[in-house]
């Protein structure tokens, strides 16, 4: 049975009612959260987007027939109820916004019935992900997911209004664009009109936003859908949303300044967190040296300490040979963990090996000042003392050491630092620690391609003082690039772009592109650059990730309405799916036999 709502008009959402409505006749509509029969009364918690409201069905008020109908109500039925708001007759429910009131139904309609849902609609459900996502339309009813999506909508509003007031224009760039061979794997769209040709879905609007600067739009932004056909991890989705911006006639300071104010406003307006400005800045090299990461989590200490100088002449071959191979010896001081069981230390050693290290050396400074160590036997007492001093070790501390190349030492100690902080509960989850990481390397050496590749992209501007090293020492050139990091997660990043022909040409040369290569890849942007290009710079945030951190969700799936799972499929709609042969024929493509793909 489902009744029409003709002639009815909702007066309030459920949780918009309060003490001030007592005595009012109201009409509310929503879903039955639960029904309880209590003596001669029936109680229903009615749920809508705003929250819960208690409805009371009393035969005296709703009539015999109505009372019987109320007895048939089950979870997730949709009701329209007209009645009077009264002070709650039973105990006040302090967990509820509407806990002091209830509505005595005078009349009601069942707008829609419901089968028994496969899982209860409640916050923090323990239901398996597969079931949740198959029934996403029910999962989306859960109040925690609703809270996330409501906050996401508000965040978009705050961002848009802030940027609009700062003179940014929102301009839509194409979704059907051209495939560019740089970067991640593109999603392709076969063209029906142009046989054998394909569109690509954008990985970002990078080239278009730079074009818009060439075209004089001065300040652009877009909350843009982007696509990458990559294997998924917990915080990746095939389509994701980016808050994308670009500014003309600015330098890096201008971009960071406006974005700091944006972040401050966003966190204040949405989750009432005060972000102090200016944000901390950290050079890339310092982040790597102290935190072993270009996105350091600064909510806890335990910085990496370099002891290369201290151990360079020690008797432990592992340390000295690493140094001889232009490597480093660095350590972590895990305070008060000298008593860590051997099994746990062994697990850390195993982690280190998985990260590429040959091992992990340790030194427990026992409470009585004695040592337990993997390498103490190779060292004199004063050598051990010097190490402890360098590491600021006190009795009871556990010292861990990696001796390897810069990359491996950073990876190992950076990863162990995070892992230990979690295990030892060192992280204050109420902190929101922002920082800018700056002065990234412009280029990184690709062993695979046997050439330098752009760390950000080929249009990133080198720092002026490093310009003369582009030809002589490309690996040492720093970029005018900046990442914004929150609690150890990269929220976004950007750079000043090259607007000078001569620098751009040098850059392409360094990347090993001929003029023809460059033109094939970025032709339309290079064409545009011939006709007067303003200095410009930009930044983009991962919007899903930003919201995830703001609401402290575990996965970006909890801040998107219709996410996909690891194999990039949608469990609810069963996308992707087979299509008619006719459709493929029109597109001029056919499916390869599975074998022939090998």
Helix axes 543-551, 252-271, angle to 10 degrees: 40
**Shortest approach of a copy of itself to residue 578 CB, angstroms?**
6
Residue 76 binds to a copy of itself (criterion: CB under 8 A): yes
CA distance 179 to 185: 9
CA distance 437 to 483: 5
Question: Which of 336, 359, 396, 588 lies at the binding interface for a copy of itself (CB under 8 A)?
Answer: 588
Residue list 98-157, contact with a copy of itself (CB under 8 A): 111-115, 117, 135-138, 140-141, 146, 149-150, 152-153, 156-157
Question: Which of 377, 429, 530, 554 lies at the binding interface for a copy of itself (CB under 8 A)?
Answer: 530
Residue 37 binds to a copy of itself (criterion: CB under 8 A): no
- Comparison of 175 and 454: residue with beta carbon closer to a copy of itself: 175
502 known ligand binder: no
Which among 236-244, 322-330, 423-431, 435-443 is the span making contact with a copy of itself, rule CB under 8 A? 236-244
The continuous run of DSSP H or E covering 486 comes out as: strand 481-486
490 known ligand binder: yes
544 known ligand binder: yes
545 known ligand binder: yes
Question: Which of 44, 56, 80, 393 lies at the binding interface for a copy of itself (CB under 8 A)?
Answer: 80
CA distance 466 to 476: 8
Residue 258 binds to a copy of itself (criterion: CB under 8 A): no
- Comparison of 212 and 400: residue with beta carbon closer to a copy of itself: 212
- Residue 463 is given by DSSP the state P
Residue 217 binds to a copy of itself (criterion: CB under 8 A): yes
**Shortest approach of a copy of itself to residue 139 CB, angstroms?**
8
33 known ligand binder: no
Which among 96-104, 321-329, 428-436, 529-537 is the span making contact with a copy of itself, rule CB under 8 A? 529-537
Residue 526 binds to a copy of itself (criterion: CB under 8 A): no
Residue list 359-378, contact with a copy of itself (CB under 8 A): none
456 known ligand binder: yes
Question: Which of 225, 335, 451, 457 lies at the binding interface for a copy of itself (CB under 8 A)?
Answer: 225
What are the structure tokens assigned to 466, written together? 């490093």
Beta-strand pair 434-438/280-283 = parallel
Contacts of 180 (CB under 8 A, 6+ apart): 186, 200, 207, 521, 522
Residue 501 binds to a copy of itself (criterion: CB under 8 A): yes
Residue 83 binds to a copy of itself (criterion: CB under 8 A): no
Q: What do you get for the CA distance between the two ends of the chain, in Å?
A: 56
CA distance 132 to 48: 20
What are the structure tokens assigned to 501, written together? 């022909």
CA distance 572 to 560: 14
542 known ligand binder: yes
Question: Which of 211, 334, 379, 484 lies at the binding interface for a copy of itself (CB under 8 A)?
Answer: 211
- Comparison of 257 and 351: residue with beta carbon closer to a copy of itself: 257
Residue list 171-210, contact with a copy of itself (CB under 8 A): 171-179, 181, 185-201, 208
Residue 461 · residue 479 · CB < 8 Å: yes
Place of tokens 């278009």: 208
Which among 84-92, 211-219, 439-447, 511-519 is the span making contact with a copy of itself, rule CB under 8 A? 211-219
Beta-strand pair 481-486/434-438 = antiparallel
Residue 460 · residue 481 · CB < 8 Å: yes
Residue list 506-525, contact with a copy of itself (CB under 8 A): 524
Contacts of 333 (CB under 8 A, 6+ apart): 302, 305, 391, 392, 393, 397, 398, 399
* Length of the chain in terms of residues written: 598
CA distance 225 to 230: 16
Residue 78 binds to a copy of itself (criterion: CB under 8 A): yes
- The mark string for 542-561 relative to a copy of itself (x by CB under 8 A, - otherwise) is ------------------xx
Three-class SS of residue 369? coil
- Comparison of 247 and 418: residue with beta carbon closer to a copy of itself: 247
230 known ligand binder: yes
478 known ligand binder: no
- Residue 339 is given by DSSP the state T
- Residue 361 is given by DSSP the state E
Q: Which residues are annotated as a binding site for L-aspartate?
A: 182, 228, 456, 497
């Amino acid at each position: 049975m489902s009744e029409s709502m003709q002639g009815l008009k909702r007066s309030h959402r459920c949780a918009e009612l309060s003490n001030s409505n007592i005595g009012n006749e109201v009409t509310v509509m929503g879903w039955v959260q639960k029904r309880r029969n209590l003596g001669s009364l029936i109680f229903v918690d009615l749920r809508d987007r705003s929250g819960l409201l208690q409805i009371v069905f009393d035969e005296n008020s709703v009539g015999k027939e109505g009372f019987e109908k109320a007895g048939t109500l089950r979870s997730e039925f949709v009701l329209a109820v007209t009645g009077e708001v009264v002070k709650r007759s039973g105990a006040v429910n302090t967990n509820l916004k509407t806990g002091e009131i209830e509505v005595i139904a005078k009349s009601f309609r069942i707008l829609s019935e419901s089968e028994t849902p496969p899982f209860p609609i409640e916050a923090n459900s323990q239901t398996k992900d597969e079931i949740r996502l198959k029934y996403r339309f029910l999962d989306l009813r859960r109040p925690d997911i609703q809270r996330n999506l409501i906050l996401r909508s508000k965040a978009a509003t705050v961002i848009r209004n802030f940027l609009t007031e700062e003179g940014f224009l929102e301009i839509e760039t194409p979704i059907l664009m051209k495939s560019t061979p740089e970067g991640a794997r593109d999603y392709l769209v076969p063209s029906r009109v142009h046989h054998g040709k394909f569109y690509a879905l954008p990985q970002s609007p990078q080239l278009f936003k730079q074009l818009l600067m060439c075209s004089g739009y001065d300040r652009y932004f877009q909350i843009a859908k982007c696509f990458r056909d990559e294997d998924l991890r917990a915080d990746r989705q095939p389509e994701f949303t980016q808050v994308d911006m670009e500014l003309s006639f600015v330098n890096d300071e201008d971009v960071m300044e406006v974005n700091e104010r944006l972040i401050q406003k966003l966190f204040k307006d949405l989750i009432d967190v005060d972000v102090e400005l200016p944000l901390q800045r950290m050079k890339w090299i310092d982040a790597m040296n102290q935190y072993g990461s270009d996105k350091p989590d600064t909510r806890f200490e335990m910085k990496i300490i370099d002891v290369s100088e201290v151990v360079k002449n020690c008797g432990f071959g592992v340390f000295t040979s690493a140094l001889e191979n232009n490597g480093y010896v660095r350590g972590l001081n895990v305070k008060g963990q000298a008593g860590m069981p051997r099994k746990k230390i062994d697990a850390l050693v195993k982690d280190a090996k998985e990260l590429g290290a040959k091992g992990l050396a340790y030194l427990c400074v026992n409470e009585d000042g004695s040592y337990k160590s993997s390498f103490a036997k190779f060292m004199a007492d004063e050598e051990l003392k010097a190490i402890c001093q360098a590491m600021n070790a006190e009795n009871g501390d556990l010292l861990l050491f990696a001796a390897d190349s810069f990359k491996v030492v950073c990876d190992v100690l950076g990863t162990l630092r995070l892992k230990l902080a979690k295990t030892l509960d060192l992280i204050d989850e109420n902190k929101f620690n922002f920082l800018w990481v700056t002065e990234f390397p412009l280029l990184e050496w690709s062993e695979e391609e046997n050439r330098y590749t752009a760390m950000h992209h080929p249009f990133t501007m080198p720092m002026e003082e490093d310009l003369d090293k582009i030809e002589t020492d490309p690996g040492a050139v720093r970029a005018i690039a900046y990442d914004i990091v929150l609690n150890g997660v990269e929220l976004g990043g950007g750079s000043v772009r090259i607007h000078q022909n001569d620098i751009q040409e040098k850059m392409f040369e360094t990347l090993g592109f001929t003029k023809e290569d460059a033109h094939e890849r970025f032709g339309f942007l290079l064409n545009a650059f011939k006709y007067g290009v303003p200095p410009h710079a930009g930044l983009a945030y991962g919007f899903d990730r930003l919201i995830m951190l703001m609401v402290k969700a575990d996965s970006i799936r909890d801040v998107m309405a219709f996410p996909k799972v690891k194999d990039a499929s949608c469990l609810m709609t069963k996308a992707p799916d087979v299509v008619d042969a006719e459709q493929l024929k029109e597109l001029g493509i056919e499916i390869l036999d599975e074998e022939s793909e090998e």
